[in-house]
Amino acid sequence: MMKKGLLFLLLLAMLAGLAYVAAAEEDYRTLTLGDRGSDVLALKQRMYYLGYFKSLDNLSDQYNKVMAERIRLLQRNNHLEEDGIATPELQALIFSDACVWIAPTPRPTPVPTPAPTPVAPQVAVTLPPTDTHGFLADGSAPFVWQNPEDGHWIYLSGDIHVDIQRFNDTTLPLVWFETRIRLAQGSRLRSLLTLKDGKTPGHSFKMPQSILDDYPNVIVAFSDDFYGYRWSHKRTQGIIIRDGEVMSGKTSKAGNLSWPQLDIFAVFQDGTAKTFVSDAYTAEEYLAMGVQDTYAFGPILVQEGKISDDVYAYPYAQTRVAPRTAIGWIGPNEYLALTVQGRRKDSRGATVEWLARRMVACGVQEALNLDGGNTCSLFFMGKLLNRSELVQDKDIRKVTGLIGVTEGE
Protein backbone atom coordinates (compact mmCIF):
# COMPACT_ATOMS: atom_id res chain seq x y z
CA MET A 1 0.00 0.00 0.00
CA MET A 2 2.87 2.36 0.84
CA LYS A 3 4.46 1.66 -2.54
CA LYS A 4 1.24 2.57 -4.34
CA GLY A 5 0.93 5.75 -2.27
CA LEU A 6 4.50 6.73 -3.06
CA LEU A 7 4.01 6.14 -6.79
CA PHE A 8 0.85 8.25 -6.66
CA LEU A 9 2.72 11.13 -5.00
CA LEU A 10 5.54 10.91 -7.56
CA LEU A 11 3.00 11.00 -10.39
CA LEU A 12 1.37 14.09 -8.91
CA ALA A 13 4.79 15.76 -8.63
CA MET A 14 5.59 14.97 -12.26
CA LEU A 15 2.26 16.32 -13.44
CA ALA A 16 2.75 19.44 -11.36
CA GLY A 17 6.21 19.89 -12.88
CA LEU A 18 4.85 19.50 -16.40
CA ALA A 19 2.13 22.00 -15.64
CA TYR A 20 4.75 24.44 -14.33
CA VAL A 21 6.90 24.05 -17.46
CA ALA A 22 3.87 24.51 -19.74
CA ALA A 23 2.88 27.66 -17.87
CA ALA A 24 6.46 28.97 -17.85
CA GLU A 25 6.75 28.53 -21.63
CA GLU A 26 4.23 31.30 -22.08
CA ASP A 27 6.67 33.75 -20.44
CA TYR A 28 9.47 33.16 -22.96
CA ARG A 29 10.01 34.29 -26.54
CA THR A 30 12.03 32.31 -29.06
CA LEU A 31 15.65 33.50 -28.99
CA THR A 32 17.98 33.11 -31.91
CA LEU A 33 21.12 34.62 -33.44
CA GLY A 34 21.08 38.42 -33.36
CA ASP A 35 18.46 38.84 -30.61
CA ARG A 36 19.22 41.11 -27.66
CA GLY A 37 17.59 41.75 -24.32
CA SER A 38 17.59 41.15 -20.60
CA ASP A 39 16.11 37.72 -21.20
CA VAL A 40 19.17 36.73 -23.26
CA LEU A 41 21.46 37.84 -20.41
CA ALA A 42 19.34 36.00 -17.84
CA LEU A 43 19.50 32.83 -19.94
CA LYS A 44 23.29 33.10 -20.18
CA GLN A 45 23.56 33.58 -16.43
CA ARG A 46 21.41 30.49 -15.81
CA MET A 47 23.59 28.52 -18.25
CA TYR A 48 26.67 29.64 -16.33
CA TYR A 49 25.31 27.93 -13.21
CA LEU A 50 24.68 24.85 -15.34
CA GLY A 51 28.34 24.87 -16.45
CA TYR A 52 27.88 26.08 -20.04
CA PHE A 53 29.78 29.36 -19.52
CA LYS A 54 33.06 29.60 -17.62
CA SER A 55 32.51 33.02 -16.08
CA LEU A 56 29.82 35.57 -15.30
CA ASP A 57 32.19 38.37 -16.25
CA ASN A 58 31.51 40.21 -19.50
CA LEU A 59 28.38 38.25 -20.42
CA SER A 60 26.47 40.43 -22.89
CA ASP A 61 22.76 40.64 -23.63
CA GLN A 62 23.35 39.57 -27.25
CA TYR A 63 22.45 36.15 -28.62
CA ASN A 64 25.63 35.70 -30.62
CA LYS A 65 27.42 32.75 -32.17
CA VAL A 66 29.03 31.76 -28.87
CA MET A 67 25.59 31.58 -27.28
CA ALA A 68 24.27 29.51 -30.19
CA GLU A 69 27.22 27.15 -29.79
CA ARG A 70 26.55 26.73 -26.06
CA ILE A 71 22.85 26.11 -26.72
CA ARG A 72 23.76 23.40 -29.23
CA LEU A 73 25.98 21.75 -26.61
CA LEU A 74 23.17 21.91 -24.07
CA GLN A 75 20.76 20.41 -26.61
CA ARG A 76 23.22 17.62 -27.33
CA ASN A 77 23.59 16.81 -23.63
CA ASN A 78 19.80 16.74 -23.27
CA HIS A 79 19.35 14.57 -26.41
CA LEU A 80 17.53 17.30 -28.34
CA GLU A 81 17.83 18.57 -31.89
CA GLU A 82 20.95 20.71 -32.12
CA ASP A 83 19.73 23.83 -33.92
CA GLY A 84 21.15 26.49 -31.58
CA ILE A 85 17.73 28.11 -31.05
CA ALA A 86 16.35 28.72 -27.58
CA THR A 87 12.64 28.02 -27.97
CA PRO A 88 10.24 28.74 -25.09
CA GLU A 89 10.16 24.99 -24.39
CA LEU A 90 13.96 24.81 -24.23
CA GLN A 91 14.18 27.86 -21.94
CA ALA A 92 11.61 26.32 -19.60
CA LEU A 93 13.79 23.21 -19.46
CA ILE A 94 16.94 25.26 -18.80
CA PHE A 95 15.31 27.04 -15.86
CA SER A 96 13.97 23.77 -14.43
CA ASP A 97 15.78 21.19 -12.34
CA ALA A 98 15.54 18.61 -15.12
CA CYS A 99 18.18 20.18 -17.41
CA VAL A 100 21.41 18.22 -17.77
CA TRP A 101 24.31 20.29 -16.48
CA ILE A 102 28.07 20.06 -16.92
CA ALA A 103 29.95 19.02 -13.80
CA PRO A 104 32.72 21.49 -13.01
CA THR A 105 36.30 20.29 -13.26
CA PRO A 106 38.23 20.72 -9.99
CA ARG A 107 40.99 23.24 -10.43
CA PRO A 108 44.10 23.68 -8.26
CA THR A 109 44.19 26.77 -6.08
CA PRO A 110 46.26 29.36 -7.96
CA VAL A 111 49.34 30.77 -6.28
CA PRO A 112 49.21 34.57 -6.39
CA THR A 113 52.09 36.13 -8.31
CA PRO A 114 52.89 39.79 -8.81
CA ALA A 115 51.44 41.12 -12.06
CA PRO A 116 54.30 42.26 -14.31
CA THR A 117 54.32 45.87 -15.44
CA PRO A 118 55.11 46.20 -19.15
CA VAL A 119 58.03 48.47 -19.91
CA ALA A 120 56.77 51.67 -21.56
CA PRO A 121 58.68 54.65 -22.99
CA GLN A 122 60.62 56.39 -20.22
CA VAL A 123 61.79 59.69 -21.72
CA ALA A 124 59.50 62.61 -20.87
CA VAL A 125 58.24 64.64 -23.82
CA THR A 126 57.21 68.29 -23.56
CA LEU A 127 54.58 69.11 -26.15
CA PRO A 128 54.21 72.61 -27.57
CA PRO A 129 51.21 74.73 -26.50
CA THR A 130 47.88 73.49 -27.86
CA ASP A 131 44.36 74.84 -28.22
CA THR A 132 41.36 73.75 -26.16
CA HIS A 133 40.93 70.66 -28.37
CA GLY A 134 44.52 69.50 -27.90
CA PHE A 135 45.80 70.49 -31.34
CA LEU A 136 48.38 73.07 -32.38
CA ALA A 137 47.23 76.61 -33.01
CA ASP A 138 46.53 77.53 -36.63
CA GLY A 139 49.66 78.20 -38.59
CA SER A 140 52.07 76.40 -36.29
CA ALA A 141 54.46 73.93 -37.90
CA PRO A 142 53.77 70.28 -36.99
CA PHE A 143 55.60 68.91 -33.96
CA VAL A 144 57.36 65.58 -34.63
CA TRP A 145 59.03 63.40 -31.98
CA GLN A 146 60.90 60.21 -32.90
CA ASN A 147 62.81 58.19 -30.32
CA PRO A 148 63.21 54.59 -31.57
CA GLU A 149 65.49 53.64 -28.66
CA ASP A 150 62.86 54.65 -26.11
CA GLY A 151 59.97 53.45 -28.30
CA HIS A 152 58.01 56.68 -28.66
CA TRP A 153 56.80 58.56 -31.74
CA ILE A 154 54.53 61.65 -31.84
CA TYR A 155 53.01 63.80 -34.55
CA LEU A 156 51.02 66.88 -33.57
CA SER A 157 49.50 69.43 -35.94
CA GLY A 158 46.45 71.64 -36.17
CA ASP A 159 44.13 68.70 -36.84
CA ILE A 160 46.09 65.49 -36.12
CA HIS A 161 47.55 63.99 -32.94
CA VAL A 162 49.28 60.63 -33.30
CA ASP A 163 51.04 59.06 -30.32
CA ILE A 164 52.76 55.67 -30.77
CA GLN A 165 54.29 53.88 -27.80
CA ARG A 166 56.15 50.58 -27.75
CA PHE A 167 55.61 48.25 -24.81
CA ASN A 168 57.68 45.25 -23.75
CA ASP A 169 56.65 42.47 -21.37
CA THR A 170 59.60 40.13 -20.95
CA THR A 171 57.59 37.62 -18.89
CA LEU A 172 55.53 36.51 -21.91
CA PRO A 173 57.68 37.62 -23.85
CA LEU A 174 55.75 40.19 -25.91
CA VAL A 175 56.40 43.46 -27.73
CA TRP A 176 53.54 45.57 -28.99
CA PHE A 177 52.76 49.08 -30.24
CA GLU A 178 49.80 51.19 -29.19
CA THR A 179 48.93 53.85 -31.77
CA ARG A 180 46.52 56.49 -30.45
CA ILE A 181 44.99 58.69 -33.13
CA ARG A 182 42.97 61.81 -32.39
CA LEU A 183 41.59 63.82 -35.30
CA ALA A 184 39.97 67.23 -35.50
CA GLN A 185 36.51 67.49 -37.01
CA GLY A 186 36.89 67.19 -40.77
CA SER A 187 39.92 64.89 -40.64
CA ARG A 188 39.45 61.14 -40.85
CA LEU A 189 41.02 57.73 -41.12
CA ARG A 190 41.78 56.87 -44.72
CA SER A 191 41.88 53.62 -46.67
CA LEU A 192 45.15 53.65 -48.56
CA LEU A 193 44.50 51.29 -51.46
CA THR A 194 46.80 50.25 -54.29
CA LEU A 195 45.98 52.56 -57.18
CA LYS A 196 48.01 51.67 -60.26
CA ASP A 197 48.43 48.78 -62.73
CA GLY A 198 45.08 49.51 -64.40
CA LYS A 199 43.15 47.47 -61.85
CA THR A 200 40.31 48.30 -59.48
CA PRO A 201 41.75 50.10 -56.42
CA GLY A 202 42.72 47.59 -53.77
CA HIS A 203 43.00 44.67 -56.17
CA SER A 204 46.72 44.95 -56.88
CA PHE A 205 49.35 43.56 -54.53
CA LYS A 206 52.27 45.79 -53.58
CA MET A 207 54.84 46.20 -50.88
CA PRO A 208 53.40 48.44 -48.15
CA GLN A 209 56.12 51.02 -48.77
CA SER A 210 55.03 51.29 -52.41
CA ILE A 211 51.47 52.01 -51.32
CA LEU A 212 52.70 54.82 -49.09
CA ASP A 213 54.54 56.31 -52.07
CA ASP A 214 51.18 56.69 -53.85
CA TYR A 215 49.81 58.96 -51.12
CA PRO A 216 51.34 62.27 -50.04
CA ASN A 217 51.97 63.18 -46.42
CA VAL A 218 51.12 59.83 -44.77
CA ILE A 219 51.68 60.30 -41.04
CA VAL A 220 50.82 56.82 -39.79
CA ALA A 221 49.64 53.63 -41.51
CA PHE A 222 48.91 50.08 -40.39
CA SER A 223 47.52 46.82 -41.76
CA ASP A 224 43.87 46.49 -42.79
CA ASP A 225 41.63 43.44 -43.33
CA PHE A 226 43.60 42.11 -46.36
CA TYR A 227 40.34 41.70 -48.26
CA GLY A 228 42.28 41.76 -51.56
CA TYR A 229 43.65 38.32 -50.72
CA ARG A 230 40.12 36.92 -50.49
CA TRP A 231 39.23 38.66 -53.75
CA SER A 232 42.24 37.19 -55.58
CA HIS A 233 41.48 33.68 -54.25
CA LYS A 234 37.79 33.93 -55.19
CA ARG A 235 36.60 33.76 -51.59
CA THR A 236 33.81 35.66 -49.94
CA GLN A 237 35.26 39.08 -49.17
CA GLY A 238 32.72 40.47 -46.73
CA ILE A 239 30.93 43.83 -46.87
CA ILE A 240 33.74 46.09 -48.09
CA ILE A 241 33.30 49.84 -48.44
CA ARG A 242 36.27 52.08 -49.10
CA ASP A 243 35.99 55.86 -49.21
CA GLY A 244 32.23 55.62 -49.72
CA GLU A 245 32.53 53.12 -52.60
CA VAL A 246 31.24 49.54 -52.39
CA MET A 247 34.04 47.09 -53.21
CA SER A 248 32.12 43.95 -52.19
CA GLY A 249 28.56 43.25 -51.10
CA LYS A 250 28.86 39.53 -50.38
CA THR A 251 29.45 38.21 -46.89
CA SER A 252 29.11 35.13 -44.72
CA LYS A 253 26.17 34.32 -42.49
CA ALA A 254 26.54 35.50 -38.92
CA GLY A 255 27.47 32.73 -36.51
CA ASN A 256 29.79 30.87 -38.87
CA LEU A 257 32.97 29.55 -37.30
CA SER A 258 35.19 30.04 -40.34
CA TRP A 259 38.26 32.27 -40.12
CA PRO A 260 37.83 35.13 -40.57
CA GLN A 261 34.16 35.52 -39.71
CA LEU A 262 33.98 38.74 -41.78
CA ASP A 263 32.49 40.75 -38.93
CA ILE A 264 32.57 44.50 -39.52
CA PHE A 265 34.30 47.57 -38.11
CA ALA A 266 32.38 50.47 -39.67
CA VAL A 267 33.78 54.01 -39.67
CA PHE A 268 31.13 56.71 -40.09
CA GLN A 269 31.53 60.12 -41.69
CA ASP A 270 30.92 61.86 -38.36
CA GLY A 271 33.97 60.24 -36.72
CA THR A 272 32.15 57.47 -34.88
CA ALA A 273 32.71 53.75 -35.37
CA LYS A 274 30.81 50.56 -34.54
CA THR A 275 31.25 46.81 -34.84
CA PHE A 276 28.62 44.57 -36.44
CA VAL A 277 28.22 40.87 -37.14
CA SER A 278 28.98 39.91 -40.71
CA ASP A 279 25.46 40.09 -42.17
CA ALA A 280 23.93 42.75 -39.92
CA TYR A 281 23.41 45.12 -42.88
CA THR A 282 23.93 45.25 -46.61
CA ALA A 283 26.51 47.54 -48.20
CA GLU A 284 23.76 49.86 -49.39
CA GLU A 285 22.30 50.06 -45.89
CA TYR A 286 25.70 50.96 -44.47
CA LEU A 287 26.04 53.76 -47.03
CA ALA A 288 22.58 55.05 -46.12
CA MET A 289 23.68 55.08 -42.46
CA GLY A 290 26.61 57.35 -43.30
CA VAL A 291 29.39 54.76 -43.28
CA GLN A 292 32.60 55.86 -45.02
CA ASP A 293 34.67 52.68 -44.68
CA THR A 294 34.14 49.12 -43.48
CA TYR A 295 36.77 46.56 -42.58
CA ALA A 296 35.75 42.90 -42.60
CA PHE A 297 37.66 40.39 -40.51
CA GLY A 298 37.08 39.38 -36.89
CA PRO A 299 36.31 38.28 -34.36
CA ILE A 300 34.75 41.33 -32.75
CA LEU A 301 36.93 42.07 -29.73
CA VAL A 302 35.00 44.76 -27.88
CA GLN A 303 31.41 46.00 -28.02
CA GLU A 304 30.06 48.82 -25.87
CA GLY A 305 33.22 48.80 -23.77
CA LYS A 306 33.07 45.09 -22.89
CA ILE A 307 34.88 42.04 -24.22
CA SER A 308 32.72 40.40 -26.87
CA ASP A 309 31.60 36.82 -26.32
CA ASP A 310 32.81 36.20 -29.88
CA VAL A 311 36.37 36.27 -28.55
CA TYR A 312 35.72 32.87 -26.99
CA ALA A 313 34.04 31.30 -30.01
CA TYR A 314 37.25 29.49 -30.90
CA PRO A 315 38.98 27.00 -28.61
CA TYR A 316 42.39 28.55 -29.34
CA ALA A 317 41.36 32.14 -28.48
CA GLN A 318 43.25 31.82 -25.20
CA THR A 319 46.19 29.74 -26.42
CA ARG A 320 47.27 30.48 -30.01
CA VAL A 321 49.77 33.34 -30.22
CA ALA A 322 50.66 35.20 -33.41
CA PRO A 323 51.56 38.64 -34.75
CA ARG A 324 48.29 40.58 -34.71
CA THR A 325 46.69 43.88 -35.68
CA ALA A 326 43.49 45.30 -34.23
CA ILE A 327 41.59 48.56 -34.57
CA GLY A 328 39.52 50.19 -31.85
CA TRP A 329 37.32 53.24 -31.39
CA ILE A 330 37.60 55.23 -28.16
CA GLY A 331 35.26 58.15 -28.89
CA PRO A 332 34.41 60.66 -31.64
CA ASN A 333 37.41 60.93 -33.98
CA GLU A 334 39.62 58.98 -31.57
CA TYR A 335 41.04 55.55 -32.39
CA LEU A 336 43.54 53.01 -31.10
CA ALA A 337 45.47 50.53 -33.23
CA LEU A 338 47.32 47.60 -31.64
CA THR A 339 50.24 46.09 -33.54
CA VAL A 340 51.72 42.97 -31.92
CA GLN A 341 55.07 41.55 -32.93
CA GLY A 342 55.32 37.78 -33.04
CA ARG A 343 57.22 34.71 -34.22
CA ARG A 344 60.40 36.14 -32.71
CA LYS A 345 62.49 35.20 -29.69
CA ASP A 346 61.77 38.52 -27.97
CA SER A 347 58.04 38.46 -28.83
CA ARG A 348 56.08 35.25 -29.33
CA GLY A 349 52.84 37.00 -30.30
CA ALA A 350 49.49 37.53 -28.61
CA THR A 351 46.21 35.66 -28.31
CA VAL A 352 42.88 37.04 -29.47
CA GLU A 353 41.79 37.24 -25.85
CA TRP A 354 44.88 39.30 -24.98
CA LEU A 355 43.98 41.77 -27.74
CA ALA A 356 40.46 42.16 -26.37
CA ARG A 357 41.59 42.62 -22.78
CA ARG A 358 44.21 45.19 -23.77
CA MET A 359 41.65 47.14 -25.79
CA VAL A 360 39.29 47.32 -22.80
CA ALA A 361 42.16 48.36 -20.52
CA CYS A 362 42.90 51.23 -22.92
CA GLY A 363 39.33 52.52 -22.77
CA VAL A 364 38.22 51.28 -26.19
CA GLN A 365 34.47 51.03 -26.80
CA GLU A 366 34.42 49.09 -30.10
CA ALA A 367 37.22 46.93 -31.54
CA LEU A 368 37.83 44.36 -34.28
CA ASN A 369 40.67 41.95 -34.92
CA LEU A 370 42.28 42.61 -38.33
CA ASP A 371 44.62 40.49 -40.43
CA GLY A 372 47.75 39.32 -38.63
CA GLY A 373 50.77 37.15 -39.33
CA ASN A 374 53.34 38.52 -41.76
CA THR A 375 50.81 41.12 -42.92
CA CYS A 376 51.28 43.15 -39.72
CA SER A 377 52.91 46.48 -40.53
CA LEU A 378 53.08 49.79 -38.70
CA PHE A 379 54.56 52.86 -40.36
CA PHE A 380 55.31 56.30 -38.97
CA MET A 381 56.44 59.03 -41.38
CA GLY A 382 57.38 56.33 -43.91
CA LYS A 383 59.42 54.27 -41.43
CA LEU A 384 58.49 50.65 -40.64
CA LEU A 385 58.44 50.40 -36.84
CA ASN A 386 57.48 46.84 -35.97
CA ARG A 387 60.36 44.93 -37.53
CA SER A 388 64.06 44.93 -36.78
CA GLU A 389 66.61 46.19 -39.28
CA LEU A 390 67.62 42.57 -39.94
CA VAL A 391 64.28 41.67 -41.54
CA GLN A 392 64.57 41.48 -45.32
CA ASP A 393 62.01 42.73 -47.84
CA LYS A 394 61.17 39.16 -48.84
CA ASP A 395 59.79 38.59 -45.33
CA ILE A 396 57.32 41.47 -45.64
CA ARG A 397 54.04 40.43 -47.26
CA LYS A 398 52.64 42.35 -50.20
CA VAL A 399 49.20 43.81 -49.48
CA THR A 400 46.39 45.60 -51.29
CA GLY A 401 45.84 48.37 -48.76
CA LEU A 402 46.56 50.00 -45.43
CA ILE A 403 44.64 52.13 -42.93
CA GLY A 404 46.23 55.52 -42.47
CA VAL A 405 46.14 59.17 -41.58
CA THR A 406 47.38 61.80 -43.99
CA GLU A 407 48.01 65.49 -43.55
CA GLY A 408 45.60 66.88 -46.14
CA GLU A 409 43.91 64.88 -48.88
Any idea where the domains of the chain sit in the sequence?
Answer: 2-94, 143-406
5-9, 132-136, 402-406, range with the lowest pLDDT: 5-9
Which of 383, 373, 396 is CA-nearest to residue 155?
A: 383
| Upstream peptide bond of 114 is cis (omega within 30 degrees of 0) | no
Cβ atoms 143, 136 nearer than 8 A: yes
Cβ atoms 206, 381 nearer than 8 A: no
- Indicate the burial class of 107 (C-beta count within 10 angstroms; 0-12, 13-18, 19 or more): exposed
- Which band of pLDDT confidence, cut at 50, 70 and 90, is reported for residue 263? very high
In sequence order, what are the beta bridge partners of 118? none
Which of 4, 30, 214 is CA-nearest to residue 206?
A: 214
> Is residue 10's pLDDT more than 90?
no
- HSE of 314 in the Cβ direction (CA atoms, 13 Å)? 19
* Cα angle 278, 237, 357; round to 5: 50
Average pLDDT, the chain: 86
Q: How far is CA 264 from CA 136, 158, 160, 246, 331, in A?
A: 33, 31, 25, 14, 18
* Cα angle 387, 364, 375; round to 5: 25
Q: Which residues contact 112 (CB under 8 A, 6 or more apart)?
A: none
Mean pLDDT of 365-391: 86
Q: What is the pLDDT of residue 335?
A: 98
Rg (CA), the chain: 25
Cβ atoms 161, 181 nearer than 8 A: yes
> 16's torsion region: left (phi>0), alpha (psi -120 to 50) or beta?
alpha
- How far apart, in whole angstroms, are the C-alpha atoms of residue 30 and residue 12? 29
Residue-wise pLDDT for 196-232, tens only, equals: 666 778 888 888 888 998 898 999 999 999 998 898 8
Q: Per-residue DSSP letters for 262-281?
A: -EEEEEETTS-EEEE-TTSS
Residue-wise pLDDT for 307-359, tens only, equals: 998 888 776 777 889 999 999 999 999 999 999 998 888 899 999 999 999 99
> Is residue 2's pLDDT more than 70?
no
Pairing of strands 240-242, 245-248: antiparallel
CATH architecture type of domain 2-94: Orthogonal Bundle (1.10)
Q: How far is CA 246 from CA 91, 193, 199, 252, 399, in A?
A: 41, 13, 15, 16, 19
- How far apart, in whole angstroms, are the C-alpha atoms of residue 134 and residue 157? 9
Q: What is the pLDDT of residue 224?
A: 96
Cβ atoms 85, 31 nearer than 8 A: yes
Which of 161, 182, 188 is CA-nearest to residue 334?
A: 182
> Is residue 194's pLDDT more than 50?
yes
- How far apart, in whole angstroms, are the C-alpha atoms of residue 165 and residue 120? 7
